[in-house]
């Protein structure tokens, strides 16, 4: 499955992308975990931290991108990796932990998805999810502006990521009836990025990548340069060379009743 995800580009900002996964895992209860699923595992950046935390647990990474999974399998040959669509794939047996870092915002229908994932857990098991909550920031509004304002040979509108990420109280309402413990919070990371055009590079590795993958090379270049010009004025580079990218993320850890 070719999805427009480029592992090398995605991993450019490895440390910034890893930090929320650590912050999420830190709030997962310390109970015995013997099986865990990493939903939308990508290149497997969370594999090592999950393995360290639960050394005896079976790990299964699930993702829809062949490119990302190939990278995961080559970086972490001792993991188990499965090409599957998280919208429909469910574990055969109940698992102790479903972990998902920066992936479920690619799937819609969270009112049904979240309780369904809880039902895939063993009693006392946990669902741990982190998703970006930055849909209304210039990084994302600029993509929508360019799709609307300029002419493209491909209809890009169906490819635009929607905003399935709701406010925290929505997840509290959906998850509290099916959870014993529920912990929901947001964190804004003020990420100092170095380089000429780092915010465009960042978004290229996520929201922009699949969209540009649908355009021909000339159009893709044009989209990127228009995007970059607007983004550089929205996130100016400071004289010391740093560009600050504020990034808000929503976290939730829900534990299935015993």
The residues that touch ligand SAM, with contacts defined as CB under 6 A, are 3, 5, 17, 21, 40-42, 45-46, 63-65, 68, 85-87, 101-103, 106-107, 206
DSSP codes of every residue in 81-127: EEE--TTT---SS-EEEEEEES-GGGS--HHHHHHHHHHTEEEEEEE
Kindly state the smallest distance separating residue 61's Cβ from ligand SAM, in Å: 8
Kindly state the smallest distance separating residue 1's Cβ from ligand SAM, in Å: 8
Kindly state the smallest distance separating residue 39's Cβ from ligand SAM, in Å: 7
Q: Which is nearer to ligand SAM, 36 or 103 (CB)?
A: 103
Contact between 244 and 199 under an 8 Å Cβ cutoff? The reply is no
3-state class (DSSP) for residue 136: coil
Q: Which is nearer to ligand SAM, 57 or 242 (CB)?
A: 57
Residue 227 φ then ψ, to 5°: -60, -50
Contact between 59 and 80 under an 8 Å Cβ cutoff? The reply is yes
Q: CA–CA separation, 222 vs 129, rounded Å?
A: 35
Q: Which is nearer to ligand SAM, 20 or 125 (CB)?
A: 20
Q: Which is nearer to ligand SAM, 18 or 182 (CB)?
A: 18
Q: Which is nearer to ligand SAM, 48 or 194 (CB)?
A: 48
3-state class (DSSP) for residue 247: strand
Q: Which is nearer to ligand SAM, 192 or 213 (CB)?
A: 213
Which residue's C-beta sits nearest to ligand SAM?
Answer: 42
Place of tokens 């039902």: 119
CA 257 vs CA 124, 180, 205, 236: distances in Å: 5, 5, 38, 48
């Amino acid at each position: 499955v070719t999805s427009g995800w480029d592992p090398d580009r995605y991993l450019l900002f490895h440390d910034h992308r890893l930090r929320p996964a650590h912050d999420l895992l830190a709030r997962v209860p310390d109970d015995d975990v013997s099986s865990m699923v990493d939903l939308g595992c990508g290149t497997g950046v969370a594999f090592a931290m999950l393995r360290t935390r639960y050394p005896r647990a079976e790990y299964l990474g699930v993702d829809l991108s062949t490119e990302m999974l190939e990278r995961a399998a080559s970086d972490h040959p001792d993991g188990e990796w499965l090409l599957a669509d998280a919208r429909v794939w469910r574990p055969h047996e109940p698992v102790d932990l479903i972990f998902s870092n920066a992936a479920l915002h690619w799937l819609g229908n969270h009112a049904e998805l979240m309780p369904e994932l809880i039902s895939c857990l063993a009693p006392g098991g946990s669902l741990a999810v982190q998703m970006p909550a930055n849909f209304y920031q210039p990084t994302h509004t600029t993509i929508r502006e360019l799709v609307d304002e300029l002419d493209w040979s491909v209809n890009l509108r169906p490819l635009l990521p929607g905003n399935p990420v709701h406010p925290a109280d929505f997840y509290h309402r959906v998850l509290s009836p099916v959870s014993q413990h529920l912990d929901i919070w947001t964190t804004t990371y003020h990420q100092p990025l170095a380089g000429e055009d780092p915010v465009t590079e960042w978004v290229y590795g996520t929201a922009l990548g699949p969209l540009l993958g649908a355009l021909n090379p000339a159009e893709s270049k044009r989209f990127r340069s228009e995007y970059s010009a607007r983004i550089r004025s929205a996130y100016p580079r400071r004289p010391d060379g740093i560009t600050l990218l504020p990034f808000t993320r929503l976290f939730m850890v829900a534990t299935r009743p015993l």
